[in-house]
Structure 1
């Protein structure tokens, strides 16, 4: 085959793969979010999701409490991310007829026993929220902050009930047994078809009363199905007591809205104060850019002067004694101790970097819409698995440069070390969730799927990448390494490895800590996060700051004739993960109200996994920056 035809076929193959990737991403990450038109009178079915609480962080199934349930409970198809989030989407008895309002609709009557009463009181005390879904829109409760802010904020889900205690009396628990739904729709004037663009609810606690004995045709005396306001003649709240009946009712009204279907998620994505968010991001960006410029100016002039001086010395007839970083040219590329472990972590960091980069690109392009619950987590898991190819390649290339020969063992370690540590922590946390009978506990089938993704796809791809990388010629050092290592002189206190490593992690953490606040808020305080454009910008800033601070400290280290830069470059940028974990601890005690031991263990366990992953990512960025820097400067000077 001639070169032109080969080039055209390769280009066609790349275009075909790109098309399949984009098409597959759209079809996989955005299932069931196409606009649906409803005729007047069309039956709308409400689905129920997990019960959540920011106080315990333990999700539970909706039907774990004595709510009205259909004869047969059907689970909706959930993606991998939804299962890992603890989502349990099921059918319910709540059904609406499109644009047909109903008042005081009786759902069912429940008489809780001792255990059910205890469960209800515990969920009310822990401020659990009920989550429902209509046409892929979660239900929200509008809350008005003050008269100065006429626009309401929205709370995802509504509370199970409320707790009150009067002076000298015991605590009483009341359940929200009457729900006033408001379904907003956008109507097409030509076809008279409508699309759901909003789903709101106002919960009430009503002690319903009726005459005679309870039967299917019972009429309540506490609300009139023909009245505009349902909750009338409600003299008291519905208290939760053992063997005391609870009657569940609901209203539904339909409100025409000017909001179009494409913009219906704007309400959910604007729950936080965007002005503060944007100002903080811009402020952080300006500070980091200023610091990066200062670092660049400090580095370029001394380095350029050093290279010019060393090259002039080589042209002089009289030999002069070498000083500074050139003095250690015979040891700077000596393989470090525990070089195999370094190769493993560098390969894993490359895998993380590729996964984060592609995920952010997909998110910016709109493939990972918040309307697809669990799509982001599913994408990250699958991309992590497929990026094992790059992990094997990077680790084997570095391993061969260190004169390693057993590439298969290196591939196995690269594919297993980091996932095994994370899986062990995850398994312990999952066991805690199992013990609490939480819906957040990953089922056995999903656990098997995760193990299959790991050993069935990720491990083979790591092997393929390692094979390709090891077949390539070894990376040659720009200078030769002496057989006998030179002695490192005594260092000043500020060049102590522990001190310089800890100092090096401050700047990368400072580049992301403001954005980290919003990310933690979205994860632990039940809010949406959708500013991926700013997140990508912060990611670029993180890369720049990790690279620059590592290069600067590496330069100072080499000028002090300390050539042990391999691990220190990795740990310098990676130490930012320590500050991330400390900030997560600060966030736990200042922003969260978690009191249960299991909930605290879950928080710190998951934040430990996040910090560990952040360490691997930033450490790899710092290592490659320092690796490129040392090769550049030692290839720029003449050495006999």
Structure 2
């Protein structure tokens, strides 16, 4: 009882301690947020300042704008202009440490018992995306000056005791690596090495005690940094080791604009198989669109000819009508409002927004090289999501109105909050796990407040506005055929024409078109590679959209020919199944392509992948539904429904 109680108390203490660390880390964000609140004075305006109210209003506006940039942009630092003078101080920032095979399981650099000169360290607080990416930069206090070589200098003395030795041994056994930054350029290294043989003379865990930093510069700018380590020392309790460093400055002709090229893996991303996959997907698009056009147009042309006959051929027309079957017989039910209309409108509107969002972020990444900055992609995604929320409301409101919906408030709120709250629910579980482990992946409270403010004061109002505009501008019913009062019974069909089978089959070809690109995306995110080929991603995204539309149109046509007029949800889920196959592929990738281990990393891997697949599924579902909707309206527009 006493032992279990002690363990329980230890767990509670660890959890509370980690909560305090997260709270302390978030104080800066909360402080910035408090400054962003509307200014208020409890004192009367100064009589000598006749326009004090106008000045204060103007000051409030500038303060709000400034706060937005403070919250979204990386913090300013001394190296912000990336230009130095001789002997000017260059800061080496320590960032994080963690198991090499677990990319998301990262901790504060000083969670390992590294020594440091003083306890009064300087933190470099980053922007929104940088914090969400689990970065916490701390001044290493290592004396580095521009163009000044250092042969070998002592950073500090590390006194090893039993606890420190055990901590370092655990880190070395789990292949812990660390990340440093100098002038926004990353450096990586391992904490130590495992013994080559348990029975050998050197069979002890060894700690790297010397860091050799090579810095390439061009005039007054740093171009490249490289870290090598040596001077391994065995870990023994009661021993004191000197932690040392050296710095070597090397001139180079490489320009500042090309300094990130060294981090890009050109042979991997521009491999022949990548080009072949793009070509293969493009040829599949041509074949699929041609096949769809040929089959459907040929069939529909004959159907149109029958329904376009004049009254002078009544006998032939009556014979044809008696023999009719298929999609033409359900014209009185095909535009019947689907079940759960509010939910369908919300997911279609959200998917339309996500499609525009992905296209916009890809274009910005192509133009602005967003891969260079820490967290730049995440920040861009959040800001663009908030600004494009009008689209989700507009599409959702117009669709809901055209279908005769009455619950406007429910539709507006669900459209604005569906996807963010799904992500929030998954993120909350992952954040709880990260706090328990004391990981940098835990999102600080202040950052949560900032994200909520962006959603509550930008995204949510824009979605509501879009719903109102969509309802009034594009919400008038315009169905080509009138809906009958009594629903038509749906006949029994073969198993392969059921909505479930059609939906599952509908995602195979779209998944095949993005299968190879998913490998590159997963490898970039989970295996420390910088994804920079956004031109490839743009082509793959456009191919995915075209293939999804074609496949869902074919599935909808087969369903209507089976006299099943419940095509709305079927067309949506037919495209959503693409995300199901991506998630199944992620399970294969986890077990075959990675060496991840532990509850923490497994939770984050499948949690992040679930969020990604939810977004992908809603996006594809909306594209598939909108394409099928246009197709259905087009084919029923040219027949005589009366």
What are the within-5 Å matches in structure 2 for residues 506-525 of structure 1?
A: 506-525=508-527
Which stretch shows the higher mean deviation, 468-477 or 127-136?
468-477
What are the within-5 Å matches in structure 2 for residues 543-562 of structure 1?
A: 543-562=545-564
Aligned to 2:111: 64
Aligned-pair CA distance for 1:280: 4.3
Considering fraction of residues, name the structure with more helix. 2
Match of 1:243 among 228, 238, 246: 238
Aligned to 2:221: 195
Distance, in Å, in 1 between the alignment partners of 2:110 and 2:574 is: 50
Distance, in Å, in 1 between the alignment partners of 2:215 and 2:141 is: 17
Aligned to 2:253: 258
Indicate the SS of the match to 1:586: helix
Aligned to 1:269: 264
Gaps of 5+ in 1: 1-19, 140-156, 188-193, 207-236
Whether contact under 8 Å (1:137, 1:371) holds in the other structure is no
TM value normalised by structure 2: 0.83
Give CA-to-partner distance per residue, 1:278-328, whole Å, 9 cap, x none. Answer: 334434434433443334333332233332333237773334214331111
Distance, in Å, in 2 between the alignment partners of 1:526 and 1:128 is: 14
Distance, in Å, in 1 between the alignment partners of 2:172 and 2:428 is: 29
Distance, in Å, in 2 between the alignment partners of 1:116 and 1:626 is: 63
Aligned to 1:161: 192
Aligned to 1:181: 213
What are the within-5 Å matches in structure 2 for residues 22-41 of structure 1?
A: 36-41=82-87
Aligned-pair CA distance for 1:583: 0.4
Aligned to 2:7: none
Whether contact under 8 Å (1:314, 1:638) holds in the other structure is no
Indicate the SS of the match to 1:365: helix
Aligned to 2:60: none
Indicate the SS of the match to 1:370: helix
Distance, in Å, in 1 between the alignment partners of 2:422 and 2:229 is: 44
What are the within-5 Å matches in structure 2 for residues 444-459 of structure 1?
A: 444-459=445-460
Aligned to 2:298: 301
Aligned-pair CA distance for 1:46: 1.2
Distance, in Å, in 2 between the alignment partners of 1:198 and 1:446 is: 32
Instruction: Classify 1:69/1:379 alpha carbon distance in 2 versus 1 (closer, same or farther; 3 Å).
Output: same
Give CA-to-partner distance per residue, 1:505-529, whole Å, 9 cap, x none. Answer: 0111111111111111111111111
Gaps of 5+ in 2: 1-64
Distance, in Å, in 1 between the alignment partners of 2:430 and 2:365 is: 28
TM value normalised by structure 1: 0.83
Aligned-pair CA distance for 1:277: 5.7
Instruction: Classify 1:522/1:315 alpha carbon distance in 2 versus 1 (closer, same or farther; 3 Å).
Output: farther
Aligned-pair CA distance for 1:608: 1.1
Whether contact under 8 Å (2:507, 2:576) holds in the other structure is yes
Aligned to 1:477: 479
Give CA-to-partner distance per residue, 1:601-633, whole Å, 9 cap, x none. Answer: 221111111111111110000000000100011
Distance, in Å, in 1 between the alignment partners of 2:312 and 2:551 is: 33
Aligned-pair CA distance for 1:196: 1.0
Whether contact under 8 Å (2:197, 2:203) holds in the other structure is yes
Instruction: Classify 1:382/1:107 alpha carbon distance in 2 versus 1 (closer, same or farther; 3 Å).
Output: same
What are the within-5 Å matches in structure 2 for residues 103-182 of structure 1?
A: 103-139=151-187, 157-168=188-199, 172-182=204-214
Aligned-pair CA distance for 1:573: 0.6
Whether contact under 8 Å (2:183, 2:222) holds in the other structure is yes
Indicate the SS of the match to 1:637: coil
Indicate yes or no: 2:88 matched with 1:49.
no
Whether contact under 8 Å (2:502, 2:574) holds in the other structure is yes
Aligned to 1:152: none
Give CA-to-partner distance per residue, 1:203-248, whole Å, 9 cap, x none. Answer: 11x2xxxxxxxxxxxxxxxxxxxxxxxxxxxxxx302233322211
Distance, in Å, in 1 between the alignment partners of 2:86 and 2:560 is: 76
Whether contact under 8 Å (1:54, 1:524) holds in the other structure is no
Instruction: Give RMSD over aligned pairs.
Output: 2.4
Distance, in Å, in 1 between the alignment partners of 2:425 and 2:203 is: 42
Whether contact under 8 Å (2:116, 2:155) holds in the other structure is no
Aligned to 1:217: none
